[in-house]
Structure 1
């Protein structure tokens, strides 16, 4: 054999595509690519939902309300037809909601003059207070601030905002009407609608879909009913305290407390701040301080007693998760998004837990063994 053939080095073999994809770096690259694709698809879905929020939000509101009213519909269907039960429930809900709005309007209209007079006096007192030490704010600064507010109200920017508000009001009315229509069909044929979506699935996939539907209805309904109970207690306590102290607009304030209680963590605080401001303007700082103490006491009662007892089975989320959901919901959907974010997060977590099997109840504590009786 020639010597030149023996001494010639062999060329290194190149790694195959299979080797490049199956080594450690290839596995990390593939997994990273999958994560990127999932994130892009999720972002695309969220973007599409935000663009269609005029439809998505009414559907979510109708779904949550239908879940909350499902026990009422179930009981009524035992005595009347599904259509009649739906009409009775829907009309009764609209009448109750309309009656509450009418009470608020009448209360505000009857006490508006007194409240506006108290507001003017409160502003004057505040002006006199800040003009003295240690603030020493001059009259010229008040005048410039007033001119700035008047200039903004008469500017084209404010007019553009007013036109945008009118357009937003039209969207709200359209969404409300759409939500009522969708709610009617969810109450009447909600089980049939979900069964229609499950037709393509069979076997364990069909069973999983049934579990998810039942879990969503149970979680949505439990959350709304539990929050409504807590909100009602908060509204009664704060409204009664404001009425006893002679704070004007006690009824509207109680309704605002009830509505804002559906925004966890920050809702009750915002309502308490509003009640304290009204008391400060109309009744002075001492009554405002008492109102703040009442709000703090009610919040402690809610957090330490009502929430654990009423919401234990429907809201099993860490406060940090609730805060993140509130932030994301507010960014995507404003106030409505903040209201809907927490129940949606609760349903998502409940769905994950029953994805492969039904959620089992917690085991009961074993009974202590009895000592044998002495002979």
Structure 2
């Protein structure tokens, strides 16, 4: 009689407790692969890769459209800086359009006046500067030939012929044509920035409200926070940098004028413009001023110009900038340097100027993304400044991190 299924021995071995032993021979499911530690790391790595690819794609698209992106950013920064002027004029009864036109016309008049003064200064001192430049080049040639470098006249003439040959070559002509094309792009961008600036000054609040229409509730509040923070940070940065740049330009330009350095006014304007490039701008302006003084006035005056530039930069960095820029630029110098490098690679000189305010606004938006930026809690003075020998019972002292401790 054949054995029934109940009489057959069980193929699964039993544990001492009588429960069947499980085998690890089954293949792990997809859920097991995705939920274990290695799967979680793989998923997170894939998310990071996707985000990086998306960021690279966005940056690439912005670089390709920089003829539009750069004017928009410039107009946004200038509109944020000029927003107090528009608010002041509108509070005193002027309409939005009239306030915008008054602000723009005043800005064009001031800018045009500065350019006119620079042109007149260069035209009036060009002859003396050119003769001084020729004399300075001759002195440099004599120093190179008779100094410790031991460079012969033939080597000097060969280097000069190389430079002249490059300037008369077709390669230089191609570069000049490319420069003309770049000048056309600059003019187009300037006109576009002016038009965008007009509409941002006139209807900036309505434009931002239009972009916030799809949002409601806390998302709408977040949008208002971001807009307010961006305008505040952009405007504070530009106004603070303008004050610092104006002080630098006045003192360096006055020092150059007292020392008899030609083109003192254009040098002061260059100092003002380069001050908008942190860290490297002041250095470039100082080098240029020293070179002009070296060519026109000799090495002693050039050394005095360098001393003036260093002194002004030290006073600005240690006294003026912390007071003016304290609430506008809360970035570590390393972050500023990285932003400058990235901006220069992506957008050239204009990118270097725009990189730091964009980084400052991005950090300010991150801080207020979920809530308003709260001011630092008030610090209680220590007990020795309260007129008592020891803290009174119930008083809370303040720890170094700003938090109250019992």
Aligned pair in 2 of structure 1 residues 14, 144: CA closer, same or farther (>3 Å)? Answer: same
Q: Distance in 2 between matches of 1:210 and 1:260?
A: 33
Q: Distance in 1 between matches of 2:147 and 2:349?
A: 40
Of 112, 122, 126, which residue of structure 2 is paired with 1:98?
A: 112
Match of 2:402 in 1: none
Output the TM-score relative to the length of structure 1: 0.97
Of 52, 66, 71, which residue of structure 1 is paired with 2:79?
A: 66
Match of 2:220 in 1: 206
Structure with the bigger percentage of helix:
1
Q: Secondary structure at the match of 2:331?
A: coil
Q: Structure 1: which 5+ runs fail to align? A: none
- 1:20 matched to 2:36? The reply is no
Q: Distance in 2 between matches of 1:140 and 1:70?
A: 61
Aligned pair in 2 of structure 1 residues 84, 11: CA closer, same or farther (>3 Å)? Answer: closer
Q: Secondary structure at the match of 2:327?
A: coil
Q: Secondary structure at the match of 1:265?
A: coil
- CA deviations 1:111-167 (Å, max 9, x no partner) are 111111111101110111111241111000111011101110110100000000000
Of 287, 304, 311, which residue of structure 2 is paired with 1:290?
A: 304
Aligned pair in 2 of structure 1 residues 160, 15: CA closer, same or farther (>3 Å)? Answer: same
- CA deviations 1:81-114 (Å, max 9, x no partner) are 1100000001110111111111111111111111
Aligned pair in 2 of structure 1 residues 23, 11: CA closer, same or farther (>3 Å)? Answer: closer
Match of 1:307 in 2: 321
Q: Distance in 1 between matches of 2:132 and 2:106?
A: 38
- CA deviations 1:244-268 (Å, max 9, x no partner) are 0000000000000000000000001
- 1:86 matched to 2:77? The reply is no
- CA deviations 1:237-286 (Å, max 9, x no partner) are 00000000000000000000000000000001000000000000000000
- 1:338 matched to 2:344? The reply is no
Q: Distance in 1 between matches of 2:27 and 2:362?
A: 48
- 1:265 matched to 2:279? The reply is yes
Cα deviation for residue 4 of structure 1 reads: 9.9
Q: Distance in 2 between matches of 1:37 and 1:371?
A: 61
Q: Distance in 2 between matches of 1:344 and 1:133?
A: 48
Q: CA RMSD in A?
A: 1.5
Of 38, 42, 47, which residue of structure 2 is paired with 1:29?
A: 42
Q: Distance in 2 between matches of 1:277 and 1:176?
A: 31
Q: Distance in 2 between matches of 1:157 and 1:3?
A: 93
- CA deviations 1:4-50 (Å, max 9, x no partner) are 9568x968111111110000000000000000000000000000000
Match of 1:40 in 2: 53
Q: Distance in 2 between matches of 1:371 and 1:140?
A: 84
Deviates more, 1:345-354 or 1:11-20: 11-20
Of 142, 163, 168, which residue of structure 2 is paired with 1:149?
A: 163
Which structure carries more relative contact order (alpha carbon 8 Å, separation 6+)?
1
Q: Distance in 2 between matches of 1:146 and 1:45?
A: 46
Of 69, 79, 85, which residue of structure 2 is paired with 1:56?
A: 69
**How many residue pairs are counted as aligned between the two chains?**
371
Q: Structure 2: which 5+ runs fail to align? A: 1-6, 14-21, 390-406
Give 1 or 2 for the bigger CA radius of gyration: 2
Cα deviation for residue 298 of structure 1 reads: 0.6
